[in-house]
């Protein structure tokens, strides 16, 4: 899997590569299974164009999993906890969902990003997984359980705006 890392203007500043097994069941048995290059700090892998609301998390797999539950919410993957704490905010951002990993590094990145967001006048809401991250939750519990878990964590107006209606 190859993903472009871009700045707020959409200029490519780097790339992230993840080697995946042929059957898609996990990362390939190579070391290291992931590699990034370029100007990463402050930049991100972007899914959608952020306006007033976006979600930001560490890993691409985590963000792609959350994107299954919130398919039109703009999201960014910062690629690591340290980089998550340093993401740059789009100029019109008013609400930031911080997609934390359930570990000490995820807690530290969340805390730093909450402080930065509040300092910039941006509402910060933390989204927490049940397991290690939202990819673990999606794989272990399925999409409907992930949607139910997210529905109670996001602002009510964002449920109707970004979450698809049940079939």
* Statement: residue 167 has pLDDT above 80: no
Over residues 113-163, the pLDDT tens digits come to 999 999 999 999 999 999 999 999 999 999 999 999 999 999 999 999 999
Any domain includes 25? no
Question: What is the reported pLDDT for 23?
Answer: 85
CATH number (domain holding residue 152):
3.40.1360.10
**pLDDT for residue 166:** 62
Q: What is the average per-residue pLDDT within 42-46?
A: 96
Give domain status of residue 34, yes or no. Answer: no
Residue 18 has pLDDT above 90, yes or no: no
The number of domains in the chain is 1
Domain contains 140: yes
Q: Is residue 33 part of a domain?
A: no
The model's pLDDT over 82-91, given as tens digits with 9 standing for 90+, comes to 999 999 999 9
Q: Are 81 and 123 in contact (CB under 8 A)?
A: no
What pLDDT is recorded for position 28?
A: 85
Over range 14-31, report the average pLDDT. Answer: 86
Provide, for the chain, the percentages of residues in helix, strand and coil under a 3-state DSSP scheme, each rounded to the nearest 5.
Answer: 30, 25, 45
Provide the domain limits for residue 134.
41-162
Average pLDDT of every residue of the chain? 93
154, part of any domain: yes
| 32 phi and psi angles, rounded to 5 deg | -80, 155
Q: Residue 32: pLDDT above 80?
A: yes
Handedness of CA 126, 101, 162, 42 (dihedral sign): positive
Please check whether residue 31 lies inside any domain of the structure.
no
pLDDT > 90 fraction of the chain, expressed in percent and rounded: 83
**In which band, very low, low, confident or very high, does the pLDDT at 74 lie, cut at 50, 70 and 90?**
very high
Task: Tell me the average pLDDT across 59-81.
Answer: 95
């Amino acid at each position: 899997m190859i993903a472009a890392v871009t700045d707020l203007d959409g200029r490519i500043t780097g790339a992230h590569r993840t080697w995946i097994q042929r059957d898609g069941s996990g990362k390939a048995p190579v070391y290291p299974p992931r590699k990034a290059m370029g100007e990463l700090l402050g930049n991100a892998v972007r899914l959608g164009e952020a306006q007033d609301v976006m979600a930001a998390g560490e890993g691409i797999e985590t963000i792609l999993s959350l994107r299954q539950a919130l398919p039109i919410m703009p999201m960014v993957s910062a690629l690591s906890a340290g980089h998550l704490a340093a993401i740059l905010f789009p100029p019109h951002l008013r609400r930031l969902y911080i997609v934390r990993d359930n570990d000490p590094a995820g807690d530290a990145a969340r805390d730093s990003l909450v402080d930065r967001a509040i300092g910039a006048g941006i509402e910060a809401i933390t989204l927490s997984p049940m397991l290690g991250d939202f990819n673990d939750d999606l794989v272990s519990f399925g999409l409907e359980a992930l949607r139910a878990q997210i529905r109670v964590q996001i602002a009510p107006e964002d449920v109707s705006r970004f979450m698809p209606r049940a079939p």
